[in-house]
């Protein structure tokens, strides 16, 4: 059995050896042997040409070891494999058994897709693979790749580059530790810390895993992805970037940092349109205005930020709530111009400033752009300010419109314009309740100190009276339209994500109204078009009738036939 096994091994070795074709000497100006100096070698000098299994090697001089099936070539060495691969170098050692060529000294290799330049290169013809570990530069039709270590698979047109990899072209520079690059498609896959500098659009992308297509200009990143713009930084678990459209989208724990306005937006998905300078965020988005000790936190189903850095505008839609220490609010849609410090709240808005609840059809307020403190407030239509007294009752100010000024986020003055009404719990210097005033006055001015009314100025004659606390009628405790919405007030930044009863019904009604408005507009447009068509048809018809009554200038006018002279005489005689 052992003898048989040895015989099989010997037979397989013989068959393998017999399949290995020998290197052939095709031409040499001078050939000789020098066993003392080059034992076992044939020395070939001048215009040396050898061939081996579809590849040729040319050089000035060579040592050819026929038994070992090995050639060592020197001086202007040229390797040609078929019609597609050409390599030049100073020296080459080629093993016909392993079909591996080791080249060094100004190595240049070309195939139809690229040109590789290095000092030392291994070429495995069996695997059709090139290998270098002492820096190489690869150029194709659009890119230049440099790396310290790399493999190139000729049939797949694929580079595996490692250590200080750099790909450059007229628009980009890619830097990576581990990169896979295809010369035929221009696609780069990377698995390691990578940065892509976009010179054209002046941004830089960072990621640890993803791909970049230098022809379509599309990139996709799936690990620690980030894009740095001039004024924004976008991060996400995964990130897509289309350079031509100047569009980026991020998903999974996304963060959009506004480096100029010092604000951060977080959420589950974001899209950024660079040429429009707009970004929108969904999936539990939150906007944070970074202010020392008193940052503002805002949430809405959708957050949209547009405009240049000096005139940046934020819009929030549906389930909008915001929180800061002395100011909270809620509405269905919100507009905020950060540079001007203007915020506008629409659709069932409510705002809480210190101990006051403020409501109306719409609420506009301004903040100091430097201190970010609340400065002034405008409430349009159905303005209502409510403050709960320690007795459980409510001081109330109501009117058509309301204008207020603030000091340190606390109301200092209020002006009610139109249909003014008031209920106030009056207290003395010791905060003892001394009476309850209820009155009406078209226009009223209030001055506050520490949140309490200090002075009232009636622009027109008021109508009302002050009751002793025990005599105040129970049925008159609340002004018409009173709604106490304290349960909706966010008490911390986590509360801005809470949904309140009635919110969904409001949104449903809003969407239904919007849908109906679109349908009505569409019907009106169709009716207008039909009327225009009718008017045009009528005009054509009238024109046709008018034309039919006119004489044609090309036709002779027909007249009744006239009798000749003889006939006239005959008639006269008769």
Q: What is the pLDDT of residues 79-130, one digit of tens each?
A: 998 878 899 999 999 999 999 999 999 999 998 888 999 999 999 999 999 9
pTM for the model: 0.74
Question: Beta 313-324 vs 302-306: how paired, if at all?
Answer: antiparallel
Q: Is the pLDDT of residue 558 over 50?
A: no
Q: Is the pLDDT of residue 291 over 80?
A: no
**Alpha helix (H) residue ranges in 391-441:** none
| Predicted pLDDT of residue 549 | 63
CATH code for residues 356-485: 2.60.450
Range with top average pLDDT, 173-177, 317-321, 526-530: 317-321
Q: Are 409 and 353 in contact (CB under 8 A)?
A: yes
Q: Is the pLDDT of residue 565 over 50?
A: no
| Predicted pLDDT of residue 574 | 40
- The residue ranges of DSSP E strands in 325-477, in sequence order, are 327-337, 342-346, 350-353, 356-359, 362-367, 374-388, 394-407, 410-427, 433-449, 452-458, 463-467
- What is the assigned CATH class of domain 22-110? mainly beta
Measured in residues, the chain has a length of 574
Averaged over 131-141, what is the pLDDT?
Answer: 90
Burial 484-517 (b: 16+ CB within 10 A, else e): eeeebbbeebeebeeeeeebeeebeebeeeeeee
Q: What percent of the chain has pLDDT over 90?
A: 55
Q: Are 190 and 169 in contact (CB under 8 A)?
A: no
Collapsed DSSP state (helix, strand, coil) of residue 13: helix
Q: Which of 256, 322, 378 is nearest to 333 (CA)?
A: 322
pLDDT tens digits for 228-267?
A: 988 889 999 999 999 899 999 999 999 998 888 788 999 9
HSE (side-chain half, CA atoms, 13 Å) at 156: 14
Question: Beta 136-139 vs 149-153: how paired, if at all?
Answer: unpaired
pLDDT tens digits for 384-399?
A: 999 999 999 999 999 9
Average pLDDT value over all residues in the chain: 86
Averaged over 127-153, what is the pLDDT?
Answer: 91
Confidence bin at 9 (pLDDT 50/70/90): very low
Better pLDDT: 409 or 322: 322
Confidence bin at 201 (pLDDT 50/70/90): confident
Query: Cα–Cα distances in Å, from 440 out to 371, 431, 463, 473?
Result: 37, 25, 5, 16
List Cβ<8 Å contacts ≥24 apart for 253-259: 254/281, 256/232, 256/281, 256/305, 257/232, 257/233, 258/231, 258/232, 258/305, 258/309, 258/312, 259/231, 259/232, 259/233
| Predicted pLDDT of residue 370 | 80
Q: Is the pLDDT of residue 281 over 80?
A: yes
The residues of the chain that CATH labels 2.60.450.10 are: 22-110
Q: Report the C-alpha gap between 476 and 462 in whole angstroms.
A: 17
| Predicted pLDDT of residue 283 | 94
């Amino acid at each position: 059995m052992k003898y048989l096994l040895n015989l099989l091994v010997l037979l397989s070795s013989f068959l393998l050896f017999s399949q290995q074709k020998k290197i052939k000497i095709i031409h040499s100006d001078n050939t000789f042997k020098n066993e003392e100096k080059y034992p076992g070698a044939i020395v070939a000098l001048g215009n040396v040409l050898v061939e081996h299994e579809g590849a040729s090697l040319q050089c000035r001089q060579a040592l050819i070891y026929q038994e070992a099936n090995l050639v060592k070539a020197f001086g202007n060495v040229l390797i040609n494999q078929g019609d597609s691969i050409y390599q030049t170098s100073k020296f080459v050692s080629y093993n016909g058994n392993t079909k591996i060529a080791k080249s060094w000294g100004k190595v240049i290799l070309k195939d139809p897709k690229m040109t590789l330049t290095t000092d030392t290169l291994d070429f495995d013809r069996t695997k059709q693979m090139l290998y270098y570990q002492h820096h190489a530069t690869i150029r194709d039709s659009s890119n230049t790749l440099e790396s310290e270590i790399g493999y190139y698979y000729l049939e797949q047109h694929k580079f595996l580059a490692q250590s200080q990899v750099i790909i450059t072209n007229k628009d980009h520079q890619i830097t990576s530790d581990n990169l896979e690059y295809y010369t035929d498609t221009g696609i780069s896959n990377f698995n390691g810390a990578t940065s892509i500098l976009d010179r054209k659009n002046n941004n830089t992308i960072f990621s640890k895993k993803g791909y970049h297509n230098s022809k379509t200009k599309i990139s996709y990143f799936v690990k620690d992805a980030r894009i740095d713009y001039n004024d924004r930084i976008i991060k996400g678990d995964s990130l897509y970037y289309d350079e031509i459209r100047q569009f980026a989208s991020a998903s999974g724990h996304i963060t959009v940092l506004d480096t100029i306005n010092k604000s951060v937006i977080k959420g589950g998905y974001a899209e950024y349109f660079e040429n429009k300078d707009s970004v929108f965020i969904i999936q539990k988005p939150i906007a944070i205005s970074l202010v020392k000790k008193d940052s503002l936190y805002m949430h809405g189903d959708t957050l949209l930020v547009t405009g240049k850095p000096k005139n940046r505008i934020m819009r929030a839609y549906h389930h909008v709530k915001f929180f800061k220490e002395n100011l909270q609010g809620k509405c269905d849609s919100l507009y905020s111009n950060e540079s001007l410090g203007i915020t506008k709240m629409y659709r069932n808005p409510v705002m809480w400033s210190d101990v006051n609840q403020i409501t109306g059809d719409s609420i506009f307020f301004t903040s100091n752009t430097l201190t970010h403190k609340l400065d002034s407030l405008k409430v349009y239509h159905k303005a209502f300010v409510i403050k709960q007294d320690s007795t459980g009752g409510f001081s109330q100010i109501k009117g058509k419109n309301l204008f207020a000024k603030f000091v340190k986020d606390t109301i200092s003055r209020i002006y009610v314009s139109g249909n003014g009404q008031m209920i106030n719990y009056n207290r003395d210097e010791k905060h003892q309740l001394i009476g309850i005033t209820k009155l009406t006055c078209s226009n009223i001015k209030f001055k506050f100190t520490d949140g309490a009314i200090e002075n009232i100025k009636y622009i027109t004659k008021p109508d009302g009276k002050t009751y002793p606390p025990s005599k105040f009628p129970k049925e008159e405790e609340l002004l018409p339209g009173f709604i106490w919405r304290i349960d909706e007030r966010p008490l911390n930044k986590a509360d801005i994500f809470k949904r309140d009863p009635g919110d969904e019904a409001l949104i449903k009604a809003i969407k239904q109204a919007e849908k109906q408005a679109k349908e009505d507009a569409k019907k009106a447009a169709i009716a207008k078009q039909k009327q225009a068509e009718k008017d045009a048809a009528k005009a054509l018809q009238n024109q046709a009738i008018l034309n039919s009554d006119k004489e044609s200038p090309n036709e002779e006018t027909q007249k009744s036939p006239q009798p000749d002279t003889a006939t006239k005489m005959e008639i006269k005689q008769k």
